[in-house]
Structure formats: C-alpha cells, structure tokens
Amino acid sequence: MVQKQSPISVSAPGKLLLFGEHAVVYGYPCIVSSVSDRLTVSIEESKKSGVDIQTPGVSDQRFIRASIAEFEKRFSITIDHCIISTFSEFSSSFGFGSSAAVTAATIKALALFTKKNIPLKDIFDISYAAVLSVQGVGSGFDIASSLYGGTILFEAGGKRIDPIPVNMPGHSFVVGYTGEKADTVAIVREVAEKRQKYIEKVDRIFTAIGDIVLQAKKALEEGDESRVGTLMNFNQEYLRDLGVSSEKLEALIAASKNAGALGAKLTGAGRGDCMIALVPDEKKSDVEGAIEKSGGTVLRVTLGADGVKRATTDDQKELFIVVDKNDTVIGYRSRGDCHADKTLVHRAINILILNDKEEVLLQKRSMTKDTQPGYWTTSVGGHVSKEETYEEAAVREMIEEVGIQDSVVFVTKFIFVFSQETEMEALFTARSNGPFYPNADEIDEVKFFTKNELIRTLLDPSFKLTELSYECLKRIHFI
C-alpha cells in the first residue's frame, strides 16, 4: 500500500523596499528587506483528480495557477490529486508583495511535494517566470526577498542577490499604511511611457537612485543610521520628481520626520501602499503617533525575517507561551506576533547531544534557506507550543530535527535577546552516539566535535557559530 504523505506547509515573508524602486526595473540595484508577516501555502494529497485551490478571502488565484504551470513545464510532470490552500498574516492591499510571496511559497511547496531538491536560485527563476507570465512586468526583487529573506542588494532578474548585514542597534523601521492601494503594474507602465518621452531626465533620476542604493548599502553595513536616513530622504526626492509620490504619502513622510525620524520615503511602486521611516527607538512611539494622527495606519512588523521555509501544517496559528522575566506564564501569542515584538518573551528549548567520547553534536543550518544559513548551532533547537512543557518540546524537536527519541536532562534556563525576538531558553543535554537522521530541509549536516577540535575550529573565520549556541556551550562548560 502506498502511504499518503502528510500535508506540506511552506511560509514566505512579505517585503518592503528600502531603496531603489523603479530604477531597479531598468537594471539598477535596489535594497529590499523581508518583513515578519508571512504567507503560508499548504499542499495535501486528495482522492479527487485535479488541483483544488482554496484561497479564503483572496479571489486572485492566477499566481498559484501560473506557479503550477511553470513547475509542470520545467519538470515535464503533471501536478494532480491535491489541495492547495493559503493563509496570510498580511493583507494583499499593503504592498508587502503577496503575489510574489504566494508564488515563491507555492514553488517551494511543489518542490517538497514532488520530492525535488531544487536550489534556491532555480526556485527564484521558476517563480520569476510564473510572475512575469501573469503580470508581464516586474524586476523580481519581491520574489528574491520572499525566498532569501533578510536584507538583500538585488538586480533585475536575479543577476545579483547579495545579503547585506544590517547593523543599527537602537533604531527601527516604522511602516505607515496610507489606506490607498497602489496599482503597481499601471504605475510601472506609466513610468515607462514617461521615460520614452523624457528619456534623459528620467535616466538621470535612475542613475542618481542607483548611486544612492550603493551608498545606502555601505551605510547599512557600517551601521551609520544618520547617513541611511539622509539617503532615504534623497531617494524620496527623486521618486517625487519621477511623479510616483502622493499627497497622503507626503503627509505621512513629513509627519514622521517632524516627529524625529532620521529619514522617510515611500516604499514600493508609490501613489499609495506604505511609507517607511528610520527611527531611533526612543522616538518610535512619537513617530507612530504622528503617522496615525495624519490618517495613516502603523503596521507593526520587523524587518529582516527568514526567507521561505517549511512550516508545520498550522504553523502560523501555532501559539507560543509568553512569559515574564521569571518565566511565569502571562499569555499565549502567535508565532507571527512573538517574532515581531521583542517584548514578548516566549519559551524555547535547546539540546546539546553528547556521545560516549564526551564529544558534542552540532548541526549546520541549511545553506539554502533560513536566516544565518551555513551557521553551526546546537544539536537541536525550537519553540515550546501552548500545552507543552519544556521537556515535551525538547523531545518532540529532537525527533523532528535529528530523528532520534531519547530522554533529556535539564541544565539551566536563561533569557536570550535576538535582533527580532526574545526567548526564554531552556537548555538540555542528551546522550546518544547516533545514528542521526537530520531533517534535510533545515540541516545541511550534523557532526560531533571534541572540545579541542571545537576551540581550534572557532579560530577559523570561515566557521560561523550562532551566538546562542556559543552561550549554550559555555553554560555546559564545553568551551
């Protein structure tokens, strides 16, 4: 008997352009960041023939249909006997790139459903072809953002997709929604017509924007917030010149600058959707208040979220346990909420597995997805779901990630602050010599290290260890 495979769910983040909109369509680079709100696509087998597409609240199924068609064409197969459904944490009106996110997540889900190991760049190419077949225009920056996550420098068609390490502690981006939906395809076509008429003027604007993008990359990497803010303002001036701003956008941009933002601009095609401001944390509530007072809606997202990734079936609705600093439960919030708000301390676990030779097992995160690709980290790590104890979560994660079932020993508990979230970490050890069956979707390899080997390896700059695992290894006195 053929076993029915369990449903596959894949989530992809929305995006916001930090610099370079419109010019990117003409071959200049842009800088885009993924956001913490995600869109999930699930596929499950069905007895009925055909593909049943269920998209509650979304009437436009063209991008899913185009994704299936491109996938079938690329691999000369027919997708059949399945149900494809979607769930989004964000409205398609915000300009967060829901078409790109649904396309990227559908192609990745189809790859897992048909058991094909497809490199991320190929997933980008198939997704880009699908999006172009529906809307005819677009640089593909939004697809790259949904797939790669983080903040990237992008060139049209995926010629360049380079991660940018953003380092601006004490500062955040605030996003204001105008309430007006932008028609991206129409605006891109209008800009193209304008360029035909006034080619020199428009190309001068694009060259200037391209230059701002390269300066912004440097400023983001160097953590020069005031320069980043100034460059956002310059970029906005050129977009205004291009004729793609609007009264409402200008009102929200001016309000946020008056309230203390270091810089602000529209994000995306313009004429509506959202604006974005760079704000010192102590001015955040002033800027948010000013945006709301000017008729905008503040969208509470953080930037630089993970790219496309496999999720459990109802991952987005999964509730995490929120605690105070003494680990007393104060409520339950969704994964999305916890990953967008550093004040929501939520429970998590880490396990360090040791073998009979007292070596420690570390896992190398997959190169193709997730934040910190290629980093080495603890043997097992994950979140504690509502109704679960720390220990139950540890045992479940051990089965899911490295394919073994063993008992765990509690070591200690501590709070760990990441760039986008805060976790109450329970650290466990476990004993096993393997064999291990690492989840190939998350993990490139697992390896045992002796103490000396690990200390030596840490001196090699090409070996990257997550800060959290460094802390865990210190706490069991391994390093």
Nearer to ligand MEV, 136 or 165 (CB): 136
Per the structure block, which two tokens stand in for 49?
Answer: 């023939």
Stretch touching ligand MEV by CB under 6 A, among 137-145, 201-209, 405-413, 449-457: 137-145
Stretch touching ligand MEV by CB under 6 A, among 21-29, 38-46, 214-222, 342-350: 21-29
- Pick one of 22, 333, 335, 365: the residue that binds ligand MEV (CB under 6 A): 22
Is residue 146 at the binding interface for ligand MEV, with CB under 6 A as the rule? no
Is residue 138 at the binding interface for ligand MEV, with CB under 6 A as the rule? yes
Neighbours of 417 (CB within 10 A): 11
Q: How far apart are CA 237 and CA 228, in angstroms?
A: 14
> DSSP class of residue 370?
S
Q: How far apart are CA 174 and CA 180, in angstroms?
A: 18
**Going by C-beta distance under 8 Å and a sequence separation of 6 or more, which residues neighbour residue 281?**
170, 171, 172
Is residue 126 at the binding interface for ligand MEV, with CB under 6 A as the rule? no
Q: How far is the CB of 299 from ligand MEV (least distance, A)?
A: 15
Nearer to ligand MEV, 26 or 416 (CB): 26
Amino acid at 165: P
Is residue 94 within 8 A of residue 273, CB to CB? The reply is yes
- Pick one of 18, 25, 109, 323: the residue that binds ligand MEV (CB under 6 A): 25
Give which of 404, 413, 395, 409 is closest to 472, Cα–Cα.
Answer: 413
Per the structure block, which two tokens stand in for 152?
Answer: 């990237």
Torsion sign, CA atoms 191, 194, 199, 200: negative
Nearer to ligand MEV, 195 or 346 (CB): 195
Subset of 207-236 contacting ligand MEV (CB under 6 A): none
Q: How far apart are CA 112 and CA 118, in angstroms?
A: 9
Per the structure block, which two tokens stand in for 278?
Answer: 């760079």
Is residue 24 at the binding interface for ligand MEV, with CB under 6 A as the rule? yes
Q: How far is the CB of 67 from ligand MEV (least distance, A)?
A: 17
Give which of 102, 121, 125 is closest to 162, Cα–Cα.
Answer: 121
- Pick one of 36, 139, 350, 429: the residue that binds ligand MEV (CB under 6 A): 139
| Residues catalogued as catalytic | 142
Q: How far apart are CA 25 and CA 436, in angstroms?
A: 46
Subset of 179-198 contacting ligand MEV (CB under 6 A): 184, 188
Nearer to ligand MEV, 25 or 340 (CB): 25
- With tokens 């400023």, the residue in question is 219
Give which of 280, 275, 308 is closest to 291, Cα–Cα.
Answer: 275
Size of residue set near ligand MEV by CB under 6 A = 12
Helix (H, G, I), strand (E, B) or coil at 29: coil
- Pick one of 13, 16, 21, 231: the residue that binds ligand MEV (CB under 6 A): 21
Nearer to ligand MEV, 191 or 345 (CB): 191
Neighbours of 47 (CB within 10 A): 6
> DSSP class of residue 180?
-
Stretch touching ligand MEV by CB under 6 A, among 22-30, 118-126, 383-391, 405-413: 22-30
Provide the mask over 248-277, with x wherever binding to ligand MEV is found by CB under 6 A and - wherever it is not.
Answer: --------------------xx--------
What is the binding site for ligand MEV (CB under 6 A)? 17, 21-22, 24-25, 138-139, 141, 184, 188, 268-269
